[in-house]
Structure 1
Amino acid sequence: MGLALDQYNKRPEIIKISHHHIESKQIDKAAKSIINQLTEAGFEAFIVGGFVRDSILGLKPKDCDVVTNATPEEIKNVIPRSRVIGRRFKIVHARAGKKITEISTFRSSSQRETKRSHKGILLRDNNYGNIEEDAFRRDFTINSLYLDITKMEVIDFIGGFKDLQNNILRSIGESSLRLTEDPVRILRAIRFKAKLNLSLETELEKEIFKLAYLLKEVSSGRRYEETLKMFLTGNAVSIMSEMQNYNITEHLLPLTKGYLRAKKDRRLIFNALKNTDKRFHQNKTLTPSFLFSVLLWPALINKTGELNSKKEKIPKVSKASNIVLRRHNEHCFIPNRIQKSIKEIWEMQIMLLRIPEKSKMTLKHKRFRAAYDFLILREKSGENLGGAGDWWTKKISS
C-alpha cells in the first residue's frame, strides 16, 4: 500500500549510471542549456519525471522537464525567451526554436498558499520548497526521480526506482488524498498502467474505483486536454479497455460509454483506436477532430438514424450534430474550430455517398481526406455503404 509520508526514508538513494543506464547524449540540448544557465546563476536544477522514468525503462521519452529551486520570476530573468504560465500551478515555458521546455519550481508541503474546493480538490498550489519536499509532492513514486546531469546520478527519495524495476504504480502518501486533490491523477494512473504495462498497487486501485466520480469536478477544458493525452499518444486501445475496467468511461466520455456495449459501435470505435495507435507509431498526423468524430458518431446516429443513403439531408445531420456536440461540451468542451471540423466530417458522409454526381466538388473539400478515412472505417467495421469506399479509393488512385 502507499506509505504515509512520515514512513518514507528521506535519505535519498543515489543510483549510478551503471544501474540507471541513462547517457548524457540522450538528454535534450535545450534542457541541458537551461540547467547550465540556472546552475551558473547559483540555482539547483534537475531533470525530473517522464524523461527519467522512460529512459530507465529503455523507452524514448517525449519531453524533458526541468525542476529547480529558482522561483518562476527568477527563472524568467535567467532563461531567455521564457514566460510564466498558469494560475493553479505557476510554471515557466522556455522556447528554443519550435521546442518548448517546461520548468517548474520545487513544491513545498506547506499549506500556506494552497486553496482547495469543498471536496478537497487542490485549486491552487504555489508554495515553493526544496528538492526533498518536492519529491513528496509528486503523484506517483516512479515520477519522483531526479537526474543530476553533472554527475549523471538519479536521486530517489521515495523508492520509485525499485517500483519501476517491479512494474508497480504506487501513490506517494495516501492514495485517497492524492487522487482527491487532483482527480486527473486517476487518468494519469490509467495512462501509465497501459503505456508501461504496470500493476496498480492495491490501495491505489481501490481508490480509483471509489473516486472516479470526482472526474466530473475537473474543468471541461482540462478534460478535453486529458482525453487527447489518453487517445492520441499510441496506447488508445489498451487505455479504452482499462477505462472500461475501472468504470471511468462514464465520467470522461458519458455520451460514448453506453454505445461501447453495442457490438457494431464497439467495433467501429476500437477499429478507429487501433488505427490511431498505428498512425502514432508511424509518426503520422493525428487530429482531435477525427478522434471525436468517431467517439461521438454513435450518439449522432442515435439522433439521425442510419446515414447510409445519398438521399439523407445534410441539414438533418447538421441539426443533430449541434445537439450532440452541445451535450458533449457539458462534460468536455471541444474548441469551436475542432467542433466545426467534426461537423464537416459527419456532413461529408452524405456527400461521399452522392457518386458520381458530386465527386469533383467533394474531392476539393478541405475535409475530404478525413471524411474518406472515416467512410472506409465505417465499411471495414461492417457497415454497408453500397461500395462507396471502393469507388472513392479508385477515384483517388486514377
Structure 2
Amino acid sequence: MTLPRRILRAEHPVSRSMISSGTLKTLYTLKDAGYEAYMVGGGVRDLLAGIEPKDFDVATNAHPEQVKPLFRSCRLVGRRFVICHVRFGDEIVETTTFRGPITDLHKRDETGRILSDNEYGTLEQDALRRDFTINALYYDIRDFSIVDFTSGIEDMKQGVIRLIGDPELRYREDPVRMLRAIRIANKLRFRIDEATAAPIARLAPLLKEIPAARLFDEVLKLLLSREAEDNLYGLRVYGLFRQLFPALDRLLKQPDKLKFVNAALRNTADRIDKDLPVSPAFLYASLLWPAVEARAKEIRIEQACESVPAMQQAGDEIITRTIACVAIPKRFSLPMRDIWDLQPRFEQTTSNRARRLMTHPKFRAAYDFLLVRAESSGDAALKELAHWWTEAQKGGDLPPVPTEEAIETGGDGNAMPERKKRRRRGGRNRRSGASNGEHADSASGADMAPDAG
C-alpha cells in the first residue's frame, strides 16, 4: 500500500465556500452515514488553478445501491460503470464508487478499450485508475485536506499534464483521453508531458471506436469554449481532427477556410466571455461551412442549379458524412441547415424578399453567420452585402441595394448561374413545406437562442 501525501488545509487554497451547496450536502450526507467521501477530479484541479469549476464530482466507498437510499433525487446511470446522479435543484452531483484495479477479468474490445468496469476498490486503487495526475487529487471533507497518491500537486505546480501509468495502455483503455489531454492543457495553460504526448498521433485512429454520440459531447467541450482556437490547433497537430471530421480536415489546409473557422470560434469565445448564449447548432454550422460551401459550388456547376437548392443538397450530404464519425442530434442539425440555406437568400435584397427574410425564425443566427463570413473574408463585395443587411435592420426605408457584384457573386467571387424567370405557382415545396419555392421556417428553434453565435 502506498501512503499518500496529505496537503493540510493551511497549505492549499481550497475552501468550502468555493464548493457548491449540492456537493457539500452530498459529501456530508455520505460522511454522516459512515462512508468515505471525497470531492475529486476537475473540481479540485480547477480550484487549485484559480478557476471556477463548472461542476463537481464525488468519490466514495459506498456502492451505488448504498448511495441511492440516502438521497431522494438519486438516479443510477451508466452501463460500463454505474454512476449515481444526485440532484439538488438544477445541480447534479456525479457520485462514483471507488474503482478497482484493471485485471484480465475486465472485458475489452480488440483495440484494448474497456467495455465493462463495475469492479469496486479502495481509495488508492481509484486514484491509480484516474487518467491524469492532476485529476487524481481528493478533497477530504473530514479534515479539509487534499489527498495525493500520484504527485498531482507537484504536476500542478510544474504546469504539466501527465497520464498515470503507461500512456499507450491508458489511451487504448479510453481513446477520449487524447482529446481530454489537449482540452485540459489549453484550459490551464499547461504543457503535455513528452511521454504522454508521444503516442497520440499514432493512436489517433482509435477514436473511430468511440460512439459518435460521445464524440459529439467531447467536441462541444473542446470548441464551445474560450480556448477553442487553441484546441482546434492541437487537434490538427496531433492528427485527431481528421478522425473526427475527415471531410473538413483537407479544406482547413486552405488559409481562407481556416481563417473563417477560427473567426467563428473567436465569436463563440467572445460570447462566452460576455455571458451571452452560445449554440451547438451555430458552432457546428460554422465548423462544417467550408465543406458545405465547397460542395454547393460543385453542385451548382454539375447540375446547373440555383444557389438555394445547391446549398440544401450540399448541407444534407455533408451532415450525412459527418454523423458517421460525430453524431449531430436533429435538434441541432435542423437549425444548421436553416443557417446554411439562408446564406444565398441574403443576396435577395429586393424590398419584399428582404422584409420577409427578416421575419424568419433563424434570421438572427443566419445574419450573425453572415457577419462572421464577412469578417473573415477579404472580399469587399461580401462585406458590403453584410453592411447592407446591418443597415436594413435599423427600421424605416431599406438602404440602397448593394452593388451588382455583391448580389451576383454572393461575396465569394464566383458568379451564380443565371437565374431563369419562373411563373409563380401555388402549392408547397415538397422539401421545405414553403410556398412559391421559399424555404420554410424550421420548427427546431427552441434549441437555439435567436441571436446565438
Correspondence for 2:385: 388
Of stretches 199-208 and 171-180 in structure 1, the one that deviates more from structure 2 is 199-208
Distance (Å, rounded) in 2 between the aligned partners of 1:177 and 1:108? 17
CA distance 1:380–1:292, change in 2 (3 Å): same
Structure 2 match to 1:342? 336
- SS of the residue 2:314 aligns to: helix
Give the equivalent residue in structure 2 for 1:139: 131
Correspondence for 2:371 among 366, 373, 376: 376
Q: Among 247, 264, 279, which residue is 2:271 paired with?
A: 279
Structure-1-length-normalised TM-score = 0.94
Aligned to 2:158: 166
How big is the shift at 1:126? 1.0
C-alpha contact 1:113 1:126 (8 A) present in aligned 2: no
In 1, the alpha carbon distance for the partners of 2:360 and 2:12 equals 51
Q: Do 2:80 and 2:115's aligned partners in 1 also have CA atoms closer than 8 Å?
A: yes
Partner of 2:89: 97
1:3 is matched with which residue? none
- From 14, 19, 22, the equivalent of 1:22 is 14
Q: Note the alpha carbon deviations across 1:303-361, whole angstroms, 9 max, x for none.
A: 111999xx944222211211111011111111112111110000011222212331232
Q: Partner of 2:240 in structure 1?
A: 248
Once residues 361 and 66 of structure 2 are traced to their aligned partners in structure 1, the CA distance between those partners, rounded to angstroms, is: 46
3-state SS of the aligned residue for 2:103?
coil
Maintained 8 Å contact 2:86/2:93: yes
Deviation at 1:171, TM superposition (A): 0.7
Matches within 5 A, 1:235-384: 235-305=227-297, 312-355=306-349, 356-382=351-377, 383=379, 384=381
Query: Computing the radius of gyration over CA atoms, which structure comes out larger, 1 or 2?
Result: 2
Give the CA deviation at 1:114: 2.6
TM superposition shift of 1:201: 1.4
For 1:35, the equivalent position in structure 2 comes to: 27
What is the rounded CA distance, in whole Å, between the counterparts of 1:351 and 1:20 in structure 2?
A: 58
Contact 1:113 1:125 in 2 (8 A): no
1:123 deviates by 1.4
SS of corresponding position for 1:94: strand
SS of the aligned residue for 2:389 comes to: helix
Task: After TM superposition, give the deviation of residue 386 of structure 1 in Å.
Answer: 6.6
Unaligned ranges ≥5, structure 1: 1-8
Counterparts in 2 of 1:307 and 1:267: CA distance versus 1, 3 Å: farther
Return the alpha-carbon distance in structure 2 between the equivalents of residues 184 and 26 of structure 1: 29
Cα distance in 2, alignment partners of residues 42 and 112 from structure 1: 32
Q: Measure how far apart 1:69 and its partner are.
A: 0.9
Give the match's secondary structure for 2:116: strand
AA at the equivalent of 1:21: P
CA deviation string 1:112-143 (max 9, x = no partner): 76321011011121111111110000000000
Whether the 8 Å CA contact 2:132–2:164 is kept in 1: the answer is yes
C-alpha distance after superposition, 1:63-94 (max 9, x if no partner): 11111111122211111211011112211111
Write the letter of the residue equivalent to 1:369: R
Q: RCO (CA 8 Å, sep 6+): is it higher in 1 or 2? A: 1
Q: Aligned partner of 1:250: which letter?
A: R
Question: Quick one: which amino acid aligns to residue 361 of structure 1?
Answer: R
| 2:57/2:93 contact within 8 Å kept | yes
Q: Distance in 2 between matches of 1:244 and 1:164?
A: 26
Please give the secondary structure, in 1, of the residue aligned with 2:283.
helix
Task: Tell me if structure 1 keeps the 8 A contact 2:259–2:376.
Answer: yes
**Superposed CA offset, 1:33-54 (max 9, x none):** 0111111211111100111111
Normalising by structure 2, what TM-score?
Answer: 0.83
Matched-pair contact (CA < 8 Å) for 1:307–1:349: no
> Once the two structures are superposed, what CA deviation does each residue of 1:203-260 show, in whole Å capped at 9, x if it has no partner?
1111112211111111111111111011012210111111122121111221221111
Partner-residue secondary structure (3-state), 2:278: coil
C-alpha separation in 2, matches of 1:284 and 1:76: 36
Task: Please list every run of 5 or more consecutive structure 2 residues that lacks an aligned counterpart in the other structure.
Answer: 396-453
How far off is 1:18 after superposition? 2.8
Q: CA deviation at 1:396?
A: 2.4
Q: What percentage of residue pairs aligned between the two structures are identical?
A: 36
Write the letter of the residue equivalent to 1:353: E
Residue type at the aligned position of 1:332: V
Check the 8 A contact 1:10/1:158 in 2, yes or no. no
Q: Cα RMSD over matched residues? A: 1.8
Paired positions, count: 388
Query: Does the Cα contact within 8 Å between 1:179 and 1:185 map onto a contact in 2?
Result: yes
Distance in 2, Cα, partners of 1:241 & 1:373: 24
Contact 2:128/2:150, CA 8 A, preserved across alignment: yes
Do 2:339 and 2:362's aligned partners in 1 also have CA atoms closer than 8 Å? Answer: yes
